[in-house]
A and B are shown apart, each in its own frame.
Chain A
C-alpha cells in the first residue's frame, strides 16, 4: 500500500528497527572484544546471533556457550545460538554455513583464516567486519562489495527551497502576499522564504531576469530587502526579525538547485541503466528517480518537502510548509508510477534523494595482493612516520611473526626483549614483498612486543562500541559506514580511517 512522503526519523526510526529485528549476526570468537560487540548489538535488539568459537574457557565450558548464555540475558527477544567449532573447520567442511547470515563479524582471527573467510563471504555478497584488539591498538576492516545507503542523514544538509526555480504551486502561494499593503503585524511575521522570493521577483524584473551573481550583487540584493523593513514615524527602522532572517539567509537561498554529483554518478552507473530481474530494490528505486528527473521533474530531483523553522505567525508558516509538503508528495507519487514494487520504502528514497550513497570496499584479496596493494595510500600516510598507518603495518608484521613462530611476540616477559628484533625482521619482510620503502620506528616495534598480544578490556570496549555501530549501519542501510580500515591508537586517543 502506497504511503508517500513525510516520515519522522529520530536516529534510525521504526523501519531501521525492523531491519535490525530481522538480522542474524555471526560472531567468530567470543573474546572480550567479540562479546562487547555482540552486547552492543543485542541491547538495541538484533533478531538473532550465532557465536562460532572452538576455544574453551580454561578447563571449563566452551567459550561460545558461556558467552551465549550471558548475552541472552541482556535481551529476551534476541535468539542466541552457538557453534562449538573453529571457523577453520567450518571453512574446510561446510563453508556454506556462513550464507545464512546478514553480516559476519570476526575478532582476533589469524590472517590466513581472515583471507579464506573473506573470499567465501565476498563471493556470497555477505558483509564482513574484521576486528582486532592488540594491546592499545584497535583495528577494524569492513569488507563489502556494494553497500547501498538509503538514508545517510548528513549532519549539515542544505535546504531544498527551489527559490531559483519556483514551482507553480509556490508561485501561486506567493501571489497571495502583498508586502507593501500588509499591516504591521503581518509584515513582521511573514516567513523569510516569502520575503526573499518576493524581492527576487523584483530584482529579476529589474535585472534582465538574471539573479544576483557575485558578492556585489548579493550585497545589493540584501540591501534591497533591508530597505523593505518598515520604518516608524521618525524614520527609524522597526524591529523586524523575519527580515533579518531573510538577509542572513540570502547566500544559501540563492544557491542553484542541482543534482549532487554523487547522485549523478549513481544515475550514470551500470546498475542503474541496466535494470533487470536481478536488480536490488535500491537500484529499481534509483532508476525510478532518474526517470522522474528526465520527465515530470524537469531535470531536478523530487522536492524534499521540508522547510526550516523561522519567525512567522503560525498560519503563514503552516501554509507555506504545506505548499512544500504537498509538492513533495506529488513528486513522490510521480516517482511511484515508475516503480512496480516495494512502494512502502519509496517515501524514504524521495525525501533523501540527494542523500543516496553507495559504499564499495576493496576485497581482502585486493588489499593483500602484491599487484593490487594500495601502495600510494601507505607511502603517503607514512610521510609522517607517526601516522596511524604504522600500526597497520606492524599488525601485518605480527601476523607474519605468527606464521613463522606459531606464537605471537612478547607473550611472556622473558620473550619481550628478543622478540623485538624478530618482529622487526617480519615487518621488514612484509614491506619488501610489497616493495614498500617506509620508515618504521623501532619504538613502535618495541611497544608491540610489550603488548604481548594482550586484549585490554578498555580497548576491547572501544572497538566493541565502534564495530557494533558500523554493523548496525550495514544492517539498516542508514548512515554511512567507514571505508575501509579503522585504526584506533588508545595510547594517544587518536584514530584514522585508511583505504587499503
Chain B
C-alpha cells in the first residue's frame, strides 16, 4: 500500500513530504463522481490548509472525533465551542482528555491536544454557550458541524443560520448560505445529515424524526409508581423543590452529593411500594437523562460528518443528499434518504404561521398548542403582541416577576385579552434565536 501516515505524527515540521498525499489525490485528480463544479488544481489544498474556516459545535464524544478527523484531513482554521468541563465519566470516549484534565473546559483541552499533536493546526477554543455568540461570530465560517446532545441547541443553531440568509426580491443569495452538518448518536444508533439552510430540509422541517424524550405522567410519579424510574423522578421533581436539601441551588446531575441525596430518597420511595431496581447508576442516568454512549457509534457518525465537510469544502464529491441513519445493533445497517422541506416550516419556510382558535379560547390553549404541536415543540414560549400601538407581553415564563404578573392572562379568553382576528403574535423560545411571528385566525 502507499505510505500511510500515523494518525498523530509527533515530530517533523509543517507539511513534510507526502504529508497530504491522501488528501491531494482527491483535490488534484479529476474523476467521474466529482461535483460538476469541481476543478482539480493544486491550489485547493492551500484553500483547505490556509483559508477554509470550520466551526465545530461540541467537544464531547462527537466533537473530539470531529476535531481529530478534520485536522487529519487538512483543515487548520477550526473553532470549537463547548460550555462544559471535563468529567471523569467522559474519559472512556472523549479521547482527547486525560485524567489530569478533569475539571478543565472541554473546548480548551481539546484545542490544546490537537494543536500540540498535529503540527500546523490552529484550533481556537470557546468555553461558551452557542447562545453567547451573535451573527457576526457565525458569519465568518465556511461550514459549521454540530456534535450536540440537545435538540434545543440544534434548533437554535438551525435558526441562527437561517437568520443569516439574505433574500433579494424573494430570491435567496447563495453566498449567504452556511452549510450545517449535524450528527447525533444514541447508544448503537446514529444519524448524520447535511443542511443547506434555505435550500434543503432544516432541523425543524423534520422535527418528528426526533423521538420525544420520555416524561412519565405526573399522576404515576405522584401516587402510583411502578418502575424504579418513577421513584427517582418523584425525588427529583417533587421532593427536591419541597425539601431544598442544598438551599436554593437547583439539582445538578454532575454533583455527586446531589445524586446521592436523590438516590437515598428514591430508595425510600421504592421501599414504600416494594419496587426493586433503584441503583446509583440508574439514578444518575434518569436525572441526567443519560442515554448510554458508545465510542464506536460516535466514531462512525463523526467520520461521516467530517467527510461531508470535506466534500463541501473541496467539491471533490457531491455531498450527501441529505440524511444518513446508522444502526449496528444487529449487523450493520445504514439507510440514506432525502429529507424533504416542510412547506410551512416555522423555522425556514418564511410562510407566515397561522394559529386557528375560536375567540372564546383561553390563552392557556394557545400556549399548550405551541408546546405540544409536533411541528413546533416549543419549550417555554413567551408570547407578546402589539395592542393600541404598544408592546404587550401576554405571557412569559422565564422571568419570575413577569410570570407572576402575566399568569392570570392564561385563564382569559383571546377576546378578553383584546386580541382580534388577524392579530400578529410574536413568540420567543429557547428553540430559536429569532422570534416567530404567528397570525391569529379566529374560527367560529
Contact = CB atoms under 8 A, between A and B. Distances in A.
Interface stretch (A63-71, A202-210, A331-339): A63-71
A148 B296 CA distance: 22
Interface in A306-322: 309, 312-315, 317-318, 321
A416 B22 contact: no
B224 interface: yes
A66 B222 CA distance: 58
Interface string B1-34: 1111111111100001010011101101111110
Interface string B280-301: 0100010000001011111110
B328 interface: yes
Contacts of A312: 224, 226
B28 A465 contact: no
B331 A480 contact: yes
Given A189-B224, A456-B73, A461-B69, A154 B292 contact: no
A31 interface: yes
Contacts of B5: 32, 57
B209 interface: no
Contacts of B304: 458, 462, 490, 493
B303 A443 contact: no
Contacts of A486: 331-332
A108 B73 CA distance: 20
Contacts of A45: 92
Contacts of B273: 314-315, 318
A451 B26 CA distance: 7
Interface stretch (A211-219, A243-251, A346-354, A468-476): A468-476
A472 B296 contact: yes
A416 B1 contact: no
Nearest to A319: B274
A479 B330 contact: yes
Interface in B29-69: 29-33, 65, 68-69
A264 B336 CA distance: 36
Nearest to B285: A10
B73 A458 contact: yes
B336 A452 contact: no
Given A136-B317, A452-B2, A455-B1, A44 B292 contact: no
A30 interface: yes
A413 B294 contact: no
A481 B303 contact: no
A153 interface: yes
B128 interface: no
A464 B303 contact: yes
A423 to B, nearest CB: 14
Interface stretch (A33-41, A85-93, A162-170, A279-287): A33-41
Most buried by B among A57, A67, A451, A456: A456
Interface string A404-420: 00001001010010000
Contacts of A136: 307, 317
B258 interface: no
A465 B297 contact: yes
Contact of B1 (A39, A408, A494): A408
Nearest to A457: B72
Contact of B329 (A153, A413, A458): A153
A453 interface: yes
A453 B2 contact: yes
A469 B328 contact: yes
Interface in B235-260: none
Nearest to A450: B31
A67 B22 CA distance: 19
Interface string A167-198: 00000000000000000000001000000000
A482 B327 CA distance: 12
A108 B22 CA distance: 15
A466 B300 contact: yes
B360 to A, nearest CB: 24
Nearest to A473: B328
Interface in A34-56: 35-36, 39-40, 43-45
Contacts of B296: 40, 465-466, 468-469, 472
B95 A74 contact: yes
A157 B30 CA distance: 49
Interface of B: 1-11, 16, 18, 21-23, 25-26, 28-33, 65, 68-69, 72-73, 92-93, 95, 98, 187-188, 192, 224-227, 273-275, 277, 279, 281, 285, 292, 294-300, 302-304, 306-308, 310, 317, 320, 324, 328-332, 334, 336
19 contacts: A45-B92, A70-B7, A108-B4, A136-B307, A315-B274, A408-B1, A450-B31, A458-B310, A459-B303, A460-B303, A461-B65, A461-B299, A462-B299, A462-B307, A491-B317, A493-B192, A493-B320, A495-B332, A497-B331
In the complex, the 3 A-B pairs of residues with the closest C-beta atoms, listed nearest first: A465-B299, A461-B303, A465-B300
Interface of A: 8, 10-11, 30-32, 35-36, 39-40, 43-45, 57-58, 60, 63, 66-67, 70, 73-75, 108, 135-136, 152-155, 189, 309, 312-315, 317-318, 321, 408, 411, 413, 416, 443, 446-447, 450-462, 464-466, 468-470, 472, 479-483, 486, 488, 490-495, 497
